[in-house]
A and B are shown apart, each in its own frame.
Chain A
Amino acid sequence: MLSRTADHLYWMARYTERAENTVRMLDVSYRMSLLPRNNGSHDDGWGAILAISELTEAFARTGRPLTPRDVIEFVVLDRNNLSSVWNCLRAARENAHAVRGTLTAEMWETTNATWLEIRDMTPEKLQATDLGEFFEWVKFRSHLLRGVTFGTMLHDDAFQFVRLGTFLERADNTARLLDVKYHSLLPQNESPTSTTDYYQWGALLRSVSAFETYRHVYRDVITPYKVAELLILNDAMPRSLHSCVDAVNDILGQIANLHSAEAARQAGELHATLHYGRMDDIFDTGLHPWLERFLERINRLGDRIGDNFLVPVAA
């Protein structure tokens, strides 16, 4: 397939996944802010959201106060914030538009309809909407696109590039979420094996649809140690780093070309780290440095994939 086509498919999937993960985070913070336990320091969760997406500075430049409403508007709708949900869904649709002939009719119509619906959204309209419902809507549009992709698209290379975008983006997003949340939730000097705020950790799990999964896997109280283990090492948990890297590794095996040996090697190495890694070693390294290193490696792999498959290189 055309390299440019692969590039558009890959980015269509990445932007859709990013939009989904962004509202997952917002949804959790929003629900938390509705809980009665707030002791006046409710900016914590919202500041963390900006930190996860590396938007702290960009937000500060807008001069807005750090209120839930301002953060939500900035992260969801701000036209100048290139990572806003609005911009992600626009970019997803533009990428789809550029290769609409490669998509099935259902895929194109899903992406296009999502964009047409959010296109005219304004802060006023958002305020008038039930936020929880809106977040659900974004999530379900993403689910829907993934579903029609899986159910209608020929499972060929084009399909693999869509999946590649999804899993790379998800690995990145889950790692960021865990990194920021973990440190904002775990008080200094507290052991990761002790039980802490049930609601806060429960919320983190819910943001990756893993609350019930946690119960099912551990049949135990929620501890930060096990939350990290579930989201990093559990290969059956669809949003964990291990499961995303499994998928990336597998896809790279299927789309291999004459130049892609290095990408395959990097993915294999990353896969081995997760497949044979142990939680204790990760905590010995320090979770934060370990996740930082992971993000670095996944991004380097993304660049390498871009060079090997997506950027047109003359023969």
Chain B
Amino acid sequence: MTADSKMTAAKPYDEMHAPDGSVRPHYLAYADWLADTPRERIERKRSEADVAFHRVGITFNVYGAEGGKERLIPFDLLPRIIPGDEWTALEAGLRQRVKALNAFLADIYHGQEILRAGRLPADQVLNNAQFRPEMKGVEVPGGLYAMIAGIDLVRAAGADGKGEYYVLEDNLRVPSGVSYLLENRKMMMRLFPDLFSRYNVQPVEHYPDLLLETLRAVAPAGVLDPTAVVLTPGAFNSAYFEHSFLAQQMGVELVEGQDLFVKDDTVYMRTTQGPRRVDVIYRRLDDDFLDPEVFRPDSMLGVPGLMSAYRAGRVTLANAVGTGVADDKSIYPYVPEMVRFYLGEEPILNNVPTYMLREPDDLAYTLAHLPELVVKEVHGAGGYGMLVGPAATRAEIEDFRLRILAAPEKYIAQPTLSLSTCPTFVDAGIAPRHIDLRPFVLSGGKEIRMVPGGLTRVAMKEGSLVVNSSQGGGTKDTWVVN
């Protein structure tokens, strides 16, 4: 594969300002408001937001930090605004992509047509650690595997100066962040009600309703009034706030593994009034921990016998077991091929060109161009274990080179995308910072649905391209405007 030189254009696309410094049309009303609003008022609102987030306890736990400390994710007050027509196009692309990914999962756990057609190397799938042989031949309601998908999009400057969206990765296991999307909107409306009178911002608050409908739509056949629950690893998990938030907003129980048990292939929760049947589990627990009888025997978080009930079709897990094989970084390059193979359509969304270091040619190219590339571990997540060439020191690059040479098949490389920037409040005033976008796509029943926009993450450090909250990234409210 050859590098797409357009993508590494030096000057990033800015969401608010055109290259000539003028304000883009969809930001004009905001720019007016900003000019009219005293900076002290914004500063005051900023500390108000901090206090409110702390008191509400919208925090996440940082792994490795002292005592699993709870930390706030920085919230930036300057919204990321997406014009309505731009979103409409993205939405169509997201629907198409998630549909293809679900078709792929159904296929590889059944007929494996795509492998037999030779459109994707079989060993890439079958020898993938995320491929779950336990799922072969298991029927899941609606043939759906990834009911909740978080698709990470970035925008890079094209040759013509227009911003072009790319899918950076698909998150089909337990994507998180939607609670921040909802809380950010609530906070913005509380802090700046006057701003919302200047824009027709499409609402996002109905996400929990959509999620509940999605979960109920995939209940086991024959269950008329399904009981759904959210399964959390517990209060010390980094996303515990979100688990608790979603359960509360949907009005369903938030359970831990110890609250559930399986009897006669039926899942029950332990209540003060005795056992109560559970039909759908929105699990925020990785496959490995779900059932100590099938996966990791040392898991204290799961439910013994759960897989047996699941395979018997007596309970639905959302997402299904084994979705990780479709969002694996080594499978990512083939997603456009999935769209063509299953849907007979051309992909609407772009993939980032990717070098597979298991291929000798790609490896050679990558080793020769490390300072320009981003190298990622195939199974890594959360911004851990990656090299951002242009931002790395010579020593870091040499260190990473040794790691690649030791096990090239564990890595992929991509050109360093110059992620788009959005003006952001920083200590020195307002400055551009790199951002990405994670829309949450829900598949259940007949339709694929999502709330407009998604979670915008922002790298708060100047020049940084890493937006993950575990690496100090912040978030912004995201507006799709008409």
Enumerate chain A residues within 8 angstroms of B275, measured Cβ to Cβ: 315
**Pick from B235, B254, B272: contact of A257, CB under 8 Å:** B272
A 265-315 contacts with B by CB, 8 A: 309-310, 312-315
A40 CB-CB contact with B under 8 Å = no
A144 nearest CB across to chain B (Å): 13
**Pick from B55, B235, B256, B272: contact of A113, CB under 8 Å:** B55
B268 CB-CB contact with A under 8 Å = yes
**Pick from A4, A108, A116, A315: contact of B258, CB under 8 Å:** A4
A 1-19 contacts with B by CB, 8 A: 1-6
A102 CB-CB contact with B under 8 Å = yes
A157 CB-CB contact with B under 8 Å = yes
**Pick from A112, A310, A315: contact of B274, CB under 8 Å:** A315
Tell me the complex Cα distance, A157–B247, Å.
18
Q: Which residue of B lies closest to A96 (CB)?
A: B57
Mask of A69-86 contacts with B, CB within 8 angstroms, 1/0: 000000000000000000
Enumerate chain B residues within 8 angstroms of A105, measured Cβ to Cβ: 56
B 242-286 contacts with A by CB, 8 A: 244-245, 247-248, 253-256, 258-259, 261, 263, 268-275
Enumerate chain A residues within 8 angstroms of B254, measured Cβ to Cβ: 5, 99, 101-102
Tell me the complex Cα distance, A309–B274, Å.
9
A 133-172 contacts with B by CB, 8 A: 157, 161
B54 CB-CB contact with A under 8 Å = yes
Tell me the complex Cα distance, A3–B272, Å.
5
**Pick from A102, A109, A161: contact of B55, CB under 8 Å:** A109
Q: Are B274 and A257 in contact (CB under 8 A)?
A: yes
Chain A: interface size category: 20 to 34
**Pick from A113, A257, A313: contact of B273, CB under 8 Å:** A257
Q: Are B235 and A4 in contact (CB under 8 A)?
A: no
**Pick from B235, B255, B273: contact of A97, CB under 8 Å:** B235
Enumerate chain A residues within 8 angstroms of B247, measured Cβ to Cβ: 101
Enumerate chain B residues within 8 angstroms of A1, measured Cβ to Cβ: 253, 271-273
**Pick from B56, B255, B263, B270: contact of A313, CB under 8 Å:** B270
Tell me the complex Cα distance, A109–B273, Å.
29
Known contacts: A112-B57, A315-B268, A315-B274. The answer to whether A98 contacts B235 by CB under 8 A is yes
Q: Are B56 and A2 in contact (CB under 8 A)?
A: no
B 211-246 contacts with A by CB, 8 A: 234-235, 244-245
Q: Are B270 and A2 in contact (CB under 8 A)?
A: yes
A206 CB-CB contact with B under 8 Å = no
Enumerate chain B residues within 8 angstroms of A99, measured Cβ to Cβ: 254
A172 nearest CB across to chain B (Å): 22
Enumerate chain A residues within 8 angstroms of B57, measured Cβ to Cβ: 97, 100, 108-109, 112
Q: Which residue of A lies closest to B254 (CB)?
A: A101
Enumerate chain B residues within 8 angstroms of A116, measured Cβ to Cβ: 54-55
B170 nearest CB across to chain A (Å): 28
A255 CB-CB contact with B under 8 Å = yes
A258 CB-CB contact with B under 8 Å = yes
- The secondary-structure label for the interface of chain A is helix
Tell me the complex Cα distance, A6–B269, Å.
13
Mask of B157-172 contacts with A, CB within 8 angstroms, 1/0: 0000000000000000
Q: Which residue of B lies closest to A313 (CB)?
A: B270
B326 nearest CB across to chain A (Å): 30
Q: Are B269 and A258 in contact (CB under 8 A)?
A: no
A191 nearest CB across to chain B (Å): 48
Tell me the complex Cα distance, A102–B254, Å.
9
Q: Are A157 and B263 in contact (CB under 8 A)?
A: no
Enumerate chain A residues within 8 angstroms of B56, measured Cβ to Cβ: 105, 108-109, 112
Tell me the complex Cα distance, A315–B266, Å.
12
Q: Are B271 and A3 in contact (CB under 8 A)?
A: yes
Tell me the complex Cα distance, A257–B55, Å.
37
Enumerate chain A residues within 8 angstroms of B268, measured Cβ to Cβ: 315
Q: Are B270 and A3 in contact (CB under 8 A)?
A: yes
Q: Are B273 and A4 in contact (CB under 8 A)?
A: no
Tell me the complex Cα distance, A112–B52, Å.
12
Enumerate chain B residues within 8 angstroms of A257, measured Cβ to Cβ: 272-274
B236 nearest CB across to chain A (Å): 10
Tell me the complex Cα distance, A45–B191, Å.
51
Enumerate chain A residues within 8 angstroms of B255, measured Cβ to Cβ: 2
A243 nearest CB across to chain B (Å): 24
Q: Which residue of A lies closest to B251 (CB)?
A: A101
Enumerate chain A residues within 8 angstroms of B261, measured Cβ to Cβ: 314-315
Q: Which residue of B lies closest to A103 (CB)?
A: B248
A 217-263 contacts with B by CB, 8 A: 255, 257-258
Q: Are B259 and A2 in contact (CB under 8 A)?
A: yes
Q: Are A100 and B270 in contact (CB under 8 A)?
A: no
Tell me the complex Cα distance, A314–B258, Å.
10
Enumerate chain A residues within 8 angstroms of B269, measured Cβ to Cβ: 2
A68 nearest CB across to chain B (Å): 33
Enumerate chain B residues within 8 angstroms of A315, measured Cβ to Cβ: 261, 263, 268, 270, 274-275
A230 nearest CB across to chain B (Å): 34
Mask of B344-361 contacts with A, CB within 8 angstroms, 1/0: 000000000000000000
Tell me the complex Cα distance, A5–B273, Å.
12
Q: Are A101 and B248 in contact (CB under 8 A)?
A: yes
Q: Are B244 and A100 in contact (CB under 8 A)?
A: yes
Enumerate chain A residues within 8 angstroms of B273, measured Cβ to Cβ: 1, 257
Tell me the complex Cα distance, A303–B56, Å.
33
Tell me the complex Cα distance, A258–B275, Å.
11
A 82-125 contacts with B by CB, 8 A: 94, 97-102, 105, 108-109, 112-113, 116
Q: Are A309 and B55 in contact (CB under 8 A)?
A: no
Enumerate chain B residues within 8 angstroms of A255, measured Cβ to Cβ: 272
B178 nearest CB across to chain A (Å): 15
Enumerate chain B residues within 8 angstroms of A312, measured Cβ to Cβ: 258-259, 270
Tell me the complex Cα distance, A97–B255, Å.
14
Q: Are B244 and A101 in contact (CB under 8 A)?
A: yes
Q: Which residue of A lies closest to B258 (CB)?
A: A312
Tell me the complex Cα distance, A255–B273, Å.
8
Tell me the complex Cα distance, A101–B251, Å.
9
Tell me the complex Cα distance, A309–B259, Å.
13
Tell me the complex Cα distance, A113–B51, Å.
10
Tell me the complex Cα distance, A180–B255, Å.
43
Mask of B318-354 contacts with A, CB within 8 angstroms, 1/0: 0000000000000000000000000000000000000
Identify 9 new A-B residue pairs, CB closer than 8 A, beyond the known A109-B56, A109-B57, A313-B270: A1-B271, A2-B255, A98-B234, A112-B56, A157-B272, A161-B272, A255-B272, A309-B272, A312-B270
A-B contact pairs, 25 of them (CB 8 A): A1-B271, A1-B273, A2-B259, A2-B269, A3-B270, A4-B256, A4-B258, A97-B235, A98-B234, A98-B235, A100-B244, A101-B245, A101-B254, A102-B248, A108-B56, A113-B55, A116-B54, A157-B272, A161-B272, A257-B273, A257-B274, A310-B272, A312-B258, A312-B259, A315-B270
Q: Which 8 A-B pairs have the closest CB atoms?
A: A101-B248, A101-B244, A312-B270, A315-B275, A101-B247, A309-B272, A98-B235, A3-B270
- Chain A interface residues (CB < 8 Å from chain B): 1-6, 94, 97-102, 105, 108-109, 112-113, 116, 157, 161, 255, 257-258, 309-310, 312-315
